[in-house]
């Protein structure tokens, strides 16, 4: 199972003081040493953590599987087409949000999304749509030619008890539908060592993107160990 480590919050610490350290690019080696299969970084429109130069340097690392998270804007599409990371994930973005709060609405913005996916596909970038595990959003993503969907696990992560079980079932059904439609299925957002095992158990999910919990854990146990602990858990897939 693929683990993409989201290193945005290494840059968040740097930007808190507007220093040159810690450098998110330096985090890459520690993540790979811990078993990360790739690196995810989000170039937000407000550049609040990852900056253009970070993304440029990440894209220049030979052999690195880089997943560029970005809003579906002309500016980001043009940066992505120039840098050509192996993959990109289209996410909704609102300036006032703390993190990506909901999935993309592919159904309502189908024509625009289709044109963006086409431009990125043409540039050889594998596009993923970050969507809620909703049947209509999944079908629309497949219909516009996106090869990958990343199912939003944020709501699942924020719930508890029976409500969490219900949301887990929604994710299971969504993953099965997406796989049936020929999509590669990823998942992410809000995942921690505690809440990840039931997601790992969903066989259709091929990859996870995890950031906040890994960077948070790394404060106490180091980045390599924090990544390795997620990889160990993912290796125990039933």
Residues annotated as part of the active site: 42, 69, 189
From candidates 68, 71, 83, 91, binder to ligand PXP by CB under 6 A: 91
Q: Is 93 in the site for ligand PXP (CB under 6 A)?
A: no
The two beta strands, 87-90 and 126-131, are parallel
Which of 150, 167, 204, 217 touches ligand PXP by CB under 6 A? 150
CA distances from 32 to 29, 63, 155 (A): 5, 11, 29
Return the residue of 7, 11, 24, 42 that touches ligand PXP, per CB under 6 A.
42
**CB burial of residue 116 (10 Å; 0-12, 13-18, 19+):** buried
Under rule CB under 6 A, residue 132 binds ligand PXP: no
Decide: is 89 part of the binding site for ligand PXP (CB under 6 A): yes
Rounded CA separation 9/41 (Å): 9
CB of 8 or CB of 134, closer to ligand PXP: 8
Are 69 and 89 within 8 A, CB to CB? Answer: yes
CA distances from 224 to 34, 37, 200, 219 (A): 4, 13, 20, 11
- Smallest distance from ligand PXP to CB 98, Å: 10
- In the complex, the residues that contact ligand PXP under the rule CB under 6 A are 6, 8, 42, 69, 89, 91, 99-100, 130, 150, 188-191, 209-213
């Amino acid at each position: 199972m693929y683990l993409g480590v989201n290193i945005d919050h290494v840059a968040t610490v740097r930007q808190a003081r507007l220093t040159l350290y810690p450098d998110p690019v330096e985090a890459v080696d520690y993540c790979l040493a811990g078993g990360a299969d790739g690196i995810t970084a989000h170039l937000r429109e407000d550049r609040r953590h990852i900056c253009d130069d970070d993304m440029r340097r990440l894209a220049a690392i030979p052999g690195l599987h880089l997943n560029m998270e970005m809003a579906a804007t002309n500016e980001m599409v043009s940066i992505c087409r120039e840098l050509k990371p192996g993959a990109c994930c289209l996410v909704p973005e609102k300036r006032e949000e703390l993190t990506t709060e909901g999935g993309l609405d592919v159904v309502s913005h189908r024509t625009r999304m289709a044109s963006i996916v086409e431009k990125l596909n043409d540039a050889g970038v594998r596009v993923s749509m970050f969507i809620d595990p909703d049947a209509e959003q999944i079908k629309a993503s497949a219909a516009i030619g996106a090869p990958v969907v990343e199912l939003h696990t944020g709501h699942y992560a924020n719930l508890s008890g029976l409500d969490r079980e219900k949301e887990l079932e929604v994710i299971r059904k969504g993953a099965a539908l997406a796989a049936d439609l020929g999509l590669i299925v990823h998942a992410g957002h809000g995942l921690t060592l505690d809440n990840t095992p039931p997601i790992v158990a969903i066989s259709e999910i091929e990859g996870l993107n995890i950031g906040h919990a890994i960077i948070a854990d790394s404060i106490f146990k180091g980045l390599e160990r924090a990544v390795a602990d997620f990889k160990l858990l993912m290796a125990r897939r039933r």
